[in-house]
């Protein structure tokens, strides 16, 4: 088992729900990305998703688009993201997933990118625009490297295709809780329970639910049906607001901790 699988096995044994945080790599700098990763690990975040900056992030709303732009402006490249992961690994074993667009892997060469990501300490890849039907030898390369292939299921995914997607996934399934792009929302979808039940009918993999979760109450509600809660844009927004502050990690940790608490509080679930 890799770190992702080990973490979910531990959570299941302890009767706990997982908490996953997404941030844009290199926003506002790669050194701050490293520092934030260590803070998240210490406070109990289960998995860290690092968005690799890309010039055309089609799945992302404005908050994460701007984070990608700031990452590019800070000089962040896929190779430098891997260097940062390797630096994190000197002090932390937090499971790390790269949230990435396929063009970035294709440009480097799929086989060398997968090999280099594994060597740096990456545990899984979530390629936003690579469906399993078009994945070619991607899954075989990932399996040999010991990394998890993470696929998305959307509210509009037909059940027949859902079955195909989860059969190809490893580590966990990422359920996109609403239609559209990433971004903070005032409420969570009322269909999460029904959709996670449909997914569970086809797989034993853990189900992580994200897209739009931005308050402690929303996190608690999602955790009722999910195996893990993913918070992205809300944390990225905090980084955007306080990116120039010397105490950025502490500010982000305080905000993130408020969302993590109800997910980990068994009495609230």
* CA dihedral for 230, 262, 62, 180, sign (positive or negative): positive
Q: How far apart are CA 46 and CA 164, in angstroms?
A: 27
For the beta carbon of residue 138, count every other beta carbon within 10 angstroms. Answer: 20
Report how far Cα 84 is from the mean position of its chain's Cα atoms: 17
- Residue 136 phi/psi, 5-degree rounding, is 55, -125
Task: Give the DSSP per-residue string, 145-213.
Answer: HT-EE--EE-TT--HHHHHHHHHH--S-EEEE-SSSS----SS--TTHHHHHHHHHTT--S-EEEESS-
Helices (H), 109-191: 110-120, 138-145, 159-168
**What SS3 state is found at 92?**
coil
Q: Which two tokens stand for residue 116?
A: 């280099």
Q: How far apart are CA 194 and CA 174, in angstroms?
A: 15
Residues noted as catalytic: 49, 60
Q: How far apart are CA 140 and CA 135, in angstroms?
A: 10
């Amino acid at each position: 088992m890799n770190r992702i699988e080990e973490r979910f096995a531990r959570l299941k044994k302890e009767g706990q729900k997982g908490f996953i945080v997404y941030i844009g790599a290199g926003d506002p700098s790669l050194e701050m990305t490293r520092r934030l990763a260590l803070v998240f690990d210490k406070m109990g975040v289960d998995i860290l998703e690092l968005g690799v900056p890309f010039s055309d992030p089609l799945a992302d709303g404005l908050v994460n688009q701007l984070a990608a732009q700031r990452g590019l402006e800070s000089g962040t490249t896929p190779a430098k993201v891997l260097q940062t992961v390797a630096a994190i690994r000197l002090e932390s074993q937090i499971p790390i997933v790269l949230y990435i667009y396929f063009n970035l892997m294709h440009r480097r060469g799929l086989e060398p990118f997968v090999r280099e990501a594994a060597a740096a300490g990456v545990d899984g890849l979530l390629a936003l625009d690579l469906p399993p039907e078009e994945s070619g030898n991607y899954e075989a390369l990932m399996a040999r490297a010991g990394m998890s292939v993470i696929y998305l299921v959307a509210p509009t995914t037909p059940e027949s295709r859902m079955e195909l997607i989860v059969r190809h996934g490893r580590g966990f399934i990422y359920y996109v809780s609403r239609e559209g792009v990433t971004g903070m929302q005032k409420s969570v979808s009322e269909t999460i329970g029904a959709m996670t039940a449909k997914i569970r009918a086809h797989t034993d993999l853990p189900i992580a639910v994200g897209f739009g979760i931005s308050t402690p109450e929303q996190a608690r509600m999602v955790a009722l049906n999910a195996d893990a809660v993913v918070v992205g844009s809300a944390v990225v927004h905090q980084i955007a607001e306080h990116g120039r502050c010397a105490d950025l990690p502490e500010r982000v940790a305080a905000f993130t901790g408020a969302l993590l608490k109800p997910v980990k509080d068994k009495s609230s679930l």
